[in-house]
Structures are given as structure tokens and as C-alpha cells.
Structure 1
């Protein structure tokens, strides 16, 4: 079924007839109205801490997602379909195209469906536990042109895999690597721990803020690199990064922000609890030839508490926590470490508001707030905040 994405010839605005059924977008209104809606929300929730800058828009707010996942199934006529998995109803919403996704993804998905039919590769049925292909993951890079296709299967068996790879390469020479990921159990759209590289290096590379990053199937990487450049540039500028500045990059993931800081001369320690992400961070530092950054596989709060107990410190703490925000323990540890500046990169404004109140009690004042529209057509707002130490803790707030 075609989505029938429509484009207004006068304004260039796009509309998708799958809007209400899919759930991938939450906003179906002109882009300028989306930006105003988000600006008002940011002002309402954050202006009590400091003036809120105008949200940084995306020049062309379409086809920005560099990570695309599609689940596969059968319709009532036993035809193979692909689309979005809705956990609430445990069903697939058939989607053939999406104006949020990199334009290279949809043709690859169509080829996968055709080859599944030709080579008799059945989609996996979560209810019966039968079938082979769970979903596909496509990662792309605009800066390097590289494309990764990940075939997520329920077991190691993948019929005619050599012919499948050969056919996909012939149909899509832009694909630079193909990986089979084996996920024997788990929820839809999850990855297993075992990868089998079927073609290429098993990863792609992307360039961001003058640095190069390796992206493997399970790597965390921002889905909108164009806006990520703006986001990270704001974070580095707010931190006042220069030669010799001591930085802790908490929740560092694959090391992106920390590596950009190190590239600008800072002495960086990245802390990440996820072992796989920490391994990727080490590789990314090597890829950029940096010796002024190191990574520790540890809980960030415990790591900072240990530093403070030894009398060690840092000039800047950079934190980019998950949507749940920072824990009370983490904020308390940050207060004991007492860096002069904290740069908070937030992907959920509700938890950011809560955490800024907690940091205020630790003796920090917000001096800079910059929203960035990372996810056009959704309600998401990414925000960079600078907090500066301004005195003693205040338990009264």
C-alpha cells in the first residue's frame, strides 16, 4: 500500500495520508507552526531558569532519519508487507515510504520484500514463533555516502544468503556493507548480540563537526546528523572548550561529543556504562588520531563520586542522558565534584525541567538555553543548557 505522500506545490510542505495510522509523526501542520509550537513549550517550561533562545530550525525538514527500521509480516492475502510495529496493538502498519527517512531506505526495503518472496524467506511471526526475518535496520551517511543493511533473523539460518547478498548488491550498489544479526528472542525491533558480516566491513563511517565516527549495527548515533552538527556546536561553544580544559563526558555513548571536545584541545574523560558503546568510543578516538581522550566503562555517578573523594576535579561536565534524564544520585555526585560549568544536552524537555531544579539546589545557575529542532514533525525538542556554579547549595528551592 502506498502512503501517497502529497506535496503542496506552492509551499513545498509535505503531507502523508498515513499520519493518523502510523504514529511516526505527531505534528501535521506547516513547519513554521511546528517551530512556534515548540518554542512556546520551551519558553513555558524553561524561561523561569534563563531566557530561551529561538529554536534552531532545519532548513529542509524532511528525509533526515539516518536510521530506518522496518518490520515484516503477511497481510490477509499472505503477501509480504513491511512497515511500522505498533506495540499497543501488536500489529504492523504497512508503510511503503516515509518523508522522515533517508530516501535511500524505501527502495532497499522494497527489494528485500521482493527477494523474500522469490527466495521463500518467511517473515517472523511473534505470535507463533515461526519464520526467519524479524526486521531490517538501514543506516546511512550523507557525508560519506555509505549505507548499511542489517538483516535481523530469529536464528542463524538464512536461506540462499549468498544469492540474497548478490542480488541486493546488484540492485543497490550504494550499499557498502550487509550484516546478519541473530536475535533468537526479545521484543520486535531489538538486536541480538551476534553479528555475521555478509559483505563489507560490518560498519559504516560518518563525519560530524570535523570528526569521523564508526557506526556498527548496535551503535547509538543521533538520527539527524545535520541538526546534530548544530546541537554539538552549541554544546562545545557553551562549554568554552579550549586547549587544556579538563572535561568529563558523562553518558558518553560512542564518544561523539567528547571526541569533538578533544579535537578542540580539551583533556577528556568519557564515562559510559554500556560495554559495546565504550568499545566503539575507543575505536572512534583511534579513528580520529586522538591521544587526549580516554574512556571508562563505569557508572558515571559512581565514577564522579570516586573522583571527588580523591580530591580530583574537572573544569567542565558534559552530560547527555537518556530520555529519563539524570538520577538524583548522579546530580548529587555532580554537585560534589563541583565543576565550574555543566553542559546539559537533553532529549526530553520534561525531565530537563525537573533536573534543572535539582541542579539549582546544588548551587548552579542556568545561563544559556538553546533549543534545537532535531525531530521535525514530532513533539521532540532537543536542548542545550549551560549551568555555572554560583555559590553554596540551596535546599530551600
Structure 2
């Protein structure tokens, strides 16, 4: 099969032949043109709140995805092929190499296809419900070099699994752990509740901003760790983190930003609704030897509402909500608690703009807006915004209205205006 990625060796720019069919990339122009496009969009949408800094680019905007999910199928010749689901669809596009995915992933996938054929492991068919292997998940740490392979199957049975694991590790000694995940009724590219470690520890570790993080199969972790380090550094600096500062890390996930704040001396409370992510966050705090951070498995808005009712306070709110942004209830709780600073990390500039409008009305202004190109070749723009509390202008007292003025009505469409008459009387026509 011919390579899908072609490289212009004079410029170093890469192009993908699957651009229109796959949908994983949304931009095909040169990287400098992509940055200009994103800078213009960020300025257009956010400059009304404050100065928008220059977007932070990637030095090498390729092979940055440390999380790679691959699906399998058979072609008309009964040959096993691999690829990705079309964006927003369940139709598979055959891809053997991708310019966004970590380079270590593609050779491992090729070996898995050979082993599937040798051991008669059939790809799962979404239409018929037949077959076994749903997809694979490969997670890589660029800092430690550790590699995790997750085999996601429709049933607990994995034929010749010991031989499969032995052959895969022999071909790729860089693999540090292999996990078998069982997902009998899941949607495409999801993980099931049950996992069995076949090789290694069942997790990998990554280093970020001087901290170490454990990544299990279901952990939420930014897919571009190179840019994430820059993003989080901006967030911690904007928050003015120092010893003794009290921080709430809302939507904390596996605790990354909160742990970095705690490492810099802050007293941190993390809140996360996903119980698995919260569990990972506690493990990560222990991994870094921190006793100045605690995590709670709860809805962030409800947790903060309870804080407000108790009269609790803190200095900085760090929030990294999902793409849908923060809820009105959450913003209301945040404003009621009135932290001096709010650091908003956003992966959706559209919902960020919406939420900033609300915060502005509630007495917060943006003092720092930093776009970061986390997802080259896509339309995505990650942003760090620092909001600081300021005094809202006092509401003007309502002006007194005279009797004559009360008699003035707005002119209805297509009807005459009743005019006030001196002494409260109206002359007959």
C-alpha cells in the first residue's frame, strides 16, 4: 500500500492523501498560514476582552498525538486492514501512516495485523456484531519512552493471548505494558469497565512541568504533551502561584494542573466528577510526594456551591472544562465565591467567548489571553485566560419620572402617539 503522507523535502512540509476522506486534519495549507488563520480567529473572537498574545506554535508540528486509536476491518480480498473512523461517522478509512500520530504507533499496528491473521483473530464488525477485536489504543510518553498497548475486544476470550503478547513484545521491545479491555456493548472507540493486564504494570508514566503522572488506559491526558507543558506553564504563571495560595482546580481530571500548582507551593483542592480520573489524581499526588493537595469526586458546581454556603474562600480558581464550556450554575458559584483570580483553560474558543461575556458582566476582566496551537492541522485553538476581579460600576439610581412623562407612550407600529397635555387634560378635536 502506498504511503499516505508525502513530504516536501525543500520545505519540510507534509501533506496527507487522506485529507478529504479522513477528516482528522481540517487544514491543508502551510503551517505558517495555519498559524496566521488561528491568530486572526483568536483576535476576532477574544480581543474584545483584552490583548490577545501571539499564538504559541509547535517547533515540529507533526507526530504529536501520544494517544492513537486504530480500528480494523477486512477488505474485499479478506485481508485485514487498519485505519480510522471518518470524522463524525462510522465509516473506516484505511490508513497505514498518519502525520499526526506518534511515530511508534504505526509499526506496532502493522505487527498486530500480522498476528491477527496468524492467530485467526477477526476484526469486529459494527454492522453485524461479529468478530472480536474492536480497536487498539496505543499511548506513548515522549518524556519517559514508555508505551502502552490496549487490545479492546467484544468478548473476554482472546485466543492464544500468551503467544500474542510474547510475539508483540519480541517485535517491539519498546512496549512496556499490554492491557486487554473487554467492551461488549460499547460505542465505537470506547473502553469497557473491565481490564486485564497481560504484560507490565498496566499503566505508563509521563513527566510534565517537573511532575510525574501515571496514565492508565482510561485516563484523560492531553494528546499533545509537548504543547501541554507550555500551556500549563502559562496557566501557573498567570495564576501567580506561590507558597500558601489557596487554589481550587475544577474539572481537574487526573490532577495535572493542580499537582503542578501544589508542586509550586499552593494549597490545592481538586474536584472531578469522573471517579476513575479522580482515583488517578490521588495516585498522581502520591507519586509526586505531595501532601498539600486533596481531591474530591463531585460535580464542580455543586462542590463550590457547598463551599459558598459554608462561607469558605480561596484565592485562585483554575478551570479546564470540557468542550461545552462551563455551565451557568458553575459560573454563578464561581462569582459568588469571588476569587481574586480565575484561570480559564479552554479547548473551545467558541464556548470560551460565551463564558467570558458572562464573567465580564459579573465583575471580572481578562488580564492575559494566550492562544496555544495544541492541535496543528486542525481548527482547534487552546487558550489560557487569566481573569481578575474588579469593582463593577455602581448601578445608577432610577430617575424620577414626572406625571407628564408617564403619559408618554412609545409609538406602536402603524398607530398614532398619545401626547401629554398640560394640566393633565386633553383638548377635544
TM more than 0.5? yes
* Matching residue of 2:327: 327
The correspondence of residues 179-198 of structure 1 with structure 2, limited to 5 A, is: 179-198=179-198
* Matching residue of 2:32: 32
Alignment partner of 2:175: what SS? Answer: coil
Q: What do residues 105-141 of structure 1 show as CA deviations (whole Å, max 9, x unaligned)?
A: 0000000001000100000011111111000000001
Change (3 A) 1:394 1:199: farther
* Matching residue of 1:8: 8
Alignment partner of 1:192: what SS? Answer: coil
1:88 Cα deviation after fit: 4.8
1:3 Cα deviation after fit: 3.7
1:111 paired with 2:111, answer yes
For the Cα contact (< 8 Å) 2:4–2:96, is it kept in 1? no
TM-score, structure 1 length as denominator? 0.98
Alignment partner of 1:198: what SS? Answer: strand
Instruction: Provide the rounded CA distance (Å) in 2 between the counterparts of 1:36 and 1:90.
Output: 33
* Matching residue of 1:165: 165
1:86 Cα deviation after fit: 2.5
Alignment partner of 1:60: what SS? Answer: coil
Instruction: Provide the rounded CA distance (Å) in 2 between the counterparts of 1:3 and 1:156.
Output: 35
The correspondence of residues 1-397 of structure 1 with structure 2, limited to 5 A, is: 1-86=1-86, 88-392=88-392
Change (3 A) 1:46 1:362: same
Instruction: Provide the rounded CA distance (Å) in 1 between the counterparts of 2:394 and 2:181.
Output: 50
Alignment partner of 2:179: what SS? Answer: strand
For the Cα contact (< 8 Å) 1:135–1:151, is it kept in 2? yes
Instruction: Provide the rounded CA distance (Å) in 1 between the counterparts of 2:14 and 2:178.
Output: 32
Q: Judge which range, 252-261 or 70-79, deviates more.
A: 70-79
Instruction: Provide the rounded CA distance (Å) in 1 between the counterparts of 2:57 and 2:144.
Output: 24
Instruction: Provide the rounded CA distance (Å) in 1 between the counterparts of 2:295 and 2:251.
Output: 11
Change (3 A) 1:288 1:394: farther
1:393 Cα deviation after fit: 8.6
For the Cα contact (< 8 Å) 1:361–1:395, is it kept in 2? no
Alignment partner of 1:123: what SS? Answer: coil
| Larger of the two Rg values belongs to structure | 2
Change (3 A) 1:327 1:55: same
For the Cα contact (< 8 Å) 2:23–2:87, is it kept in 1? no
Q: Flag structure 2 segments of 5+ consecutive residues without an equivalent.
A: 397-429
TM-score, structure 2 length as denominator? 0.91
For the Cα contact (< 8 Å) 2:21–2:86, is it kept in 1? no
Change (3 A) 1:366 1:328: same
1:395 Cα deviation after fit: 9.8
1:90 Cα deviation after fit: 2.5
Instruction: Provide the rounded CA distance (Å) in 2 between the counterparts of 1:189 and 1:247.
Output: 35
For the Cα contact (< 8 Å) 1:343–1:387, is it kept in 2? yes
Instruction: Provide the rounded CA distance (Å) in 1 between the counterparts of 2:126 and 2:6.
Output: 34
Instruction: Provide the rounded CA distance (Å) in 2 between the counterparts of 1:90 and 1:205.
Output: 32
1:53 Cα deviation after fit: 0.1
Q: Flag structure 1 segments of 5+ consecutive residues without an equivalent.
A: none
1:2 Cα deviation after fit: 3.4
Q: What do residues 177-197 of structure 1 show as CA deviations (whole Å, max 9, x unaligned)?
A: 000000001211000010000
Q: What do residues 349-396 of structure 1 show as CA deviations (whole Å, max 9, x unaligned)?
A: 000000000111221111110000000000000000000011249999
For the Cα contact (< 8 Å) 1:249–1:270, is it kept in 2? yes
Instruction: Provide the rounded CA distance (Å) in 1 between the counterparts of 2:17 and 2:55.
Output: 28
What is the number of equivalent residue pairs in this alignment? 396
